[in-house]
Amino acid sequence: MNMSEFKKAGHWPTLLAAFLYFDIGFMAWTSLGPLIVYITKSLNLTVDEKFTLVAIPVLAGAVLRIPLGALADRLGAKTTGICAQIVVMLGAAYAAWFGLGSKFAIECFGVILGIGGASFAVALPQASRWYPPQYQGVVMGIAGAGNVGVVLDTLLAPTIAEHFGWQGVFGFLLIPMGLILAYYIYAAKDAPGERKPFSLAAYGELMKDVDSRWFMLFYFITFGGFSGLANALPLFFTVQYHISPVAAGLMVAMIVAFGSCFRPVGGMVADRIGGIRALTIIFGVVALAYFCVAALPEGPAPAAGQPGWSLAQMPGICWLAVFVFSSGALALGMGNGSVFQLIPLRFKGDIGLMTGLVGCAGGIGGFFLAQALGYSKRMTGSFSAGFVFFALLALFGLVGLLIVKSRWRTTWGAVSGAQV
């Protein structure tokens, strides 16, 4: 890729603003995962109830991506993004000042955090509309790489909670949220051209298109896997391997960093070899990683009365799990970029609506992964069945690619002006 041509092709301040906006939104969206052990300490909740709580922002973000995507098409991405960010900041300020004293309060707060996750449906179309077809993979990868916000969550939130309490985490979060909102207001611009008016019927028409349903399935697998792991792994590591919340945060930060950082790489690879070929390889790697995780045994518990393992004390089986999860997260991140290399080529005129629709499916996938792990633990005493389910789903996605690849390459792919 020629960087000088790429810089001239679109509007890089908007691309950067979209990346930062999605980054801070994703950070808010996934903040319950690394903090749930602290927030629920006095509530006496079961493991599966905690998994449900961390899944609520994921589900809310999934559902809210549709109306936010539609509003971005009608009002403009910039206006929609500013309003959404203010609502999330107000929710974070409330949690920082007044706390969350009940399960219901946590659930309501989770819905507000879901607006941060729904920022996906604003940031990606805003960036995409500025660039030609041959750069869609890398552009959508860069804007979507804002999910690196979860790395900062899992890395910093437990340590801040240990020193200042979990409410202090949301107090600190307000600082970068305010700074990024100021930059977004200053730098982001909506691309020229007519926007489609909001219409529920438009979603119905898109849902009738079989290609939109395939894209929803593929993103259900890739982004659902990534967001589900990002939210559930901090709790998973404390339960399965008996490590401290701080050590769990460090491990999960390492894992999700692979998925976040390799999303643009996935888009670039898809630009070069085609999204279909890239996804074919990726789904195979994801399925293998899930099957391997399902086969790993539970880690040894520390002596009675002793806190969870520290980073230096973690057993070898935990490090092996980190390696397998990192491999899977890397593939999932590349898969996210690959899916969004293809979507603007097929649905260029409906990119806002499609981003909301497909993003919704991805968020629902994350909700199901977190729920599947909690349900598996409650019903079988092990997390293995939940991981096996998603491994089989990745294989189903691989079969789906084999079904559609010839038709896609000989119809819209042939006239798209890019590799498919």
* pLDDT reported for residue 149: 74
* pLDDT reported for residue 106: 95
Indicate the angle between helix axes 103-117 and 47-75, nearest 10 degrees. Answer: 40
Whether the predicted pLDDT of 125 surpasses 90: no
Whether the predicted pLDDT of 4 surpasses 70: no
Residue 335 CA, distance from chain mean position: 12
pLDDT digits (tens, 9 = 90+) for 174-233: 999 999 999 999 999 987 766 666 566 777 888 889 999 999 999 999 989 988 888 889
Helices (H), 241-315: 245-261, 263-273, 275-295
Region of 416 (left: φ > 0; alpha: ψ -120 to 50; beta: rest) is alpha
pLDDT digits (tens, 9 = 90+) for 283-298: 999 999 999 999 999 9
CA angle at residue 140 from 416 to 392, to 5 degrees? 90
363: nearest Cα among 243, 219, 153, 254? 219
Answer yes or no: is 418 within a domain: no
Of 108 and 268, the one with more pLDDT: 108
What is the chain's percent helix, strand, coil content, to nearest 5?
85, 0, 15
Whether the predicted pLDDT of 137 surpasses 80: no
242, 309 Cβ separation under 8 angstroms: yes
pLDDT digits (tens, 9 = 90+) for 47-57: 889 988 988 99
* pLDDT reported for residue 113: 95
Residue 309, beta-bridge partner list:
243
119, 84 Cβ separation under 8 angstroms: yes
Of 281 and 350, the one with more pLDDT: 281
How far is the C-alpha of 191 from the C-alpha of 198, rounded, in Å? Answer: 17
Q: What is the largest CA-CA distance in the chain?
A: 66
Measure the N-to-C terminal CA separation of the chain; round to a whole number of Å. Answer: 17
Lowest mean pLDDT among 34-38, 134-138, 259-263, 343-347: 134-138
Answer yes or no: is 416 within a domain: no
Which residues lie closer than 8 Å to 213 by C-beta, 6 or more apart?
207
Whether the predicted pLDDT of 365 surpasses 70: yes
Prediction pTM value: 0.80
How far is the C-alpha of 296 from the C-alpha of 286, rounded, in Å? Answer: 16
Answer yes or no: is 417 within a domain: no
Helix (H, G, I), strand (E, B) or coil at 309: strand
Whether the predicted pLDDT of 112 surpasses 90: yes
Phi, psi of 269 (to 5 degrees): -65, -40
Domain that holds residue 315: 13-190+200-411
Whether the predicted pLDDT of 38 surpasses 60: yes
How far is the C-alpha of 419 from the C-alpha of 253, rounded, in Å? Answer: 33
222: nearest Cα among 121, 362, 108, 123? 362
154, 37 Cβ separation under 8 angstroms: no
* pLDDT reported for residue 56: 92
Phi, psi of 272 (to 5 degrees): -85, -45
Per-residue confidence at 143, pLDDT binned at 50, 70, 90? confident
Which residues lie closer than 8 Å to 18 by C-beta, 6 or more apart?
122, 123, 124, 126, 127, 143, 146, 188
Phi, psi of 276 (to 5 degrees): -65, -50
Per-residue confidence at 310, pLDDT binned at 50, 70, 90? confident
Answer yes or no: is 3 within a domain: no
Answer yes or no: is 247 within a domain: yes
Answer yes or no: is 38 within a domain: yes
123-136 average pLDDT score? 80
Number of H helices, E strands in the chain: 18, 0
Could you tell me the CATH number of the domain that includes residue 206?
1.20.1250.20
pLDDT digits (tens, 9 = 90+) for 66-87: 888 778 878 888 999 999 999 9
Q: How many domains does the chain have?
A: 1
| Residue 254 neighbours by CB distance under 10 Å | 17
Select the highest-mean-pLDDT range: 124-133, 262-271, 316-325. 316-325
Per-residue confidence at 7, pLDDT binned at 50, 70, 90? low
* pLDDT reported for residue 138: 76
Query: CA 272, 10, 358, 345: dihedral to nearest 10 degrees?
Result: -50
Answer yes or no: is 185 within a domain: yes
Whether the predicted pLDDT of 156 surpasses 90: no
Which residues lie closer than 8 Å to 60 by C-beta, 6 or more apart?
110, 111, 112, 113, 114, 115, 117, 118
How does DSSP classify residue 306? P
- Average pLDDT of the chain to the nearest whole number: 88
Answer yes or no: is 98 within a domain: yes
